[in-house]
A and B are shown apart, each in its own frame.
Chain A
Amino acid sequence: MLFLRVLQEAPPETMDYMILGYAVIFVVMGIYIFSLFSRRRKLLRDLQSLEEME
């Protein structure tokens, strides 16, 4: 009876969803940070070209 009660009280196995949730956060934030970095790099190149033309 105690054994059954312990089984009933164990939390459900939902680790896969937790991993998915955190993976999405890491990936999306990583993509956004990379996009900021890429845009800045491109703008710096454009600025350099324009300053050379000036």
Chain B
Amino acid sequence: MKTKPVFLQILTGLSVVLFLVAAYLAIFWAPTEATMGDVQRVFYFHVSVGWVGAIGYLLAVIAGIAYLRTGNSKWDIIGVAGVEVGLVFAFLNIVTGSIWAKPTWNTWWTWDIRLTTATISELVYIAYMMLRQGIEDPERRARIGAIYAIVGFISVPLSFLSIRIWETIHPVVVEAEGMNMTADMKVAFFFSLATFTIIGATLLWHRIRVGQLAEKVEQLKMKLYE
């Protein structure tokens, strides 16, 4: 396996530095929100991890379409990487939302439309991983995985738009009139968003490399045991 590309090494280092800066901005620098107190600071990372989760799932859709068109296994590797990273970050989005909810809504959970659709989306992609585990033939696994990832993505924009379509108690931060944040909060928010985009891309790249290595091992095993 080739050594880590220089650009990936740079991205990895940058991700660590940006993560620490984003954490400082969110936890210490941004002003304290008047009605919720410090728990509001969870919002900066809560939205950012949700964003990365959605990007991961979108990448799986793009990779799925590319696989169905070309049959090239590299797209299957990318698709799985997208779903896996998406699952981790979408999970963080749900859990941090729950932690924020406890002091704010006085409950860890409620079947609000946003929370419900986000959970459905997470379960859809957990099922994707389980489905893949049950299929031995690599080509069939990739093909079914691609179709599932494409169809399953319907749950993602549904969750995002849910708070605008249906009645909800989930905060709506971005409105037609603008964002319900002070200027300093916007700095912390957009910095977190940019940071996690870079972190997501870095982790995806690392995960894709693991997938490529796994494929190489699998191919060598098949060749040796034929």
Q: Which residues of A contact B (CB under 8 A)?
A: 9, 11-15, 17-18, 20-22, 24-25, 28-29, 32-33, 36, 39-40, 43-44, 46-47, 50-51, 53-54
Contacts and interface: CB of A to CB of B under 8 A. Distances in A.
Contacts of B216: 47
Contacts of B213: 40, 43-44, 47
Given A11-B34, A40-B206, 14 more contacts: A11-B33, A12-B35, A14-B39, A14-B103, A17-B38, A17-B102, A22-B23, A25-B45, A29-B92, A33-B203, A43-B213, A43-B217, A46-B217, A47-B1
Contact of B38 (A15, A25, A44, A51): A15
Nearest to A51: B220
A31 to B, nearest CB: 9
B220 A25 contact: no
Interface stretch (B93-101, B162-170, B171-179): B93-101
A25 B96 contact: yes
Contacts, number: 96
Nearest to B216: A47
B50 to A, nearest CB: 12
B41 interface: yes
A12 B37 CA distance: 5
A28 B92 contact: yes
Given A18-B42, A22-B45, A36-B206, A11 B99 contact: no
B182 to A, nearest CB: 14
Contacts of A12: 35-37, 103
Contact of A21 (B37, B39, B207): B39
Interface of B: 1, 23, 27, 32-42, 45-46, 49, 88, 91-92, 95-96, 99-100, 102-103, 203, 206-207, 209-210, 213-214, 216-217, 220-221, 223-224
A54 B220 contact: yes
Residues of B contacting A: mostly: helix
A25 B103 contact: no
Contact of B36 (A14, A40, A53, A54): A14
Contact of B34 (A9, A28, A39): A9
Contacts of A36: 203, 206-207, 210
A43 B46 contact: no
A9 B32 CA distance: 12
B48 to A, nearest CB: 10
B39 A25 contact: no
Contacts of A18: 27, 38-39, 41-42
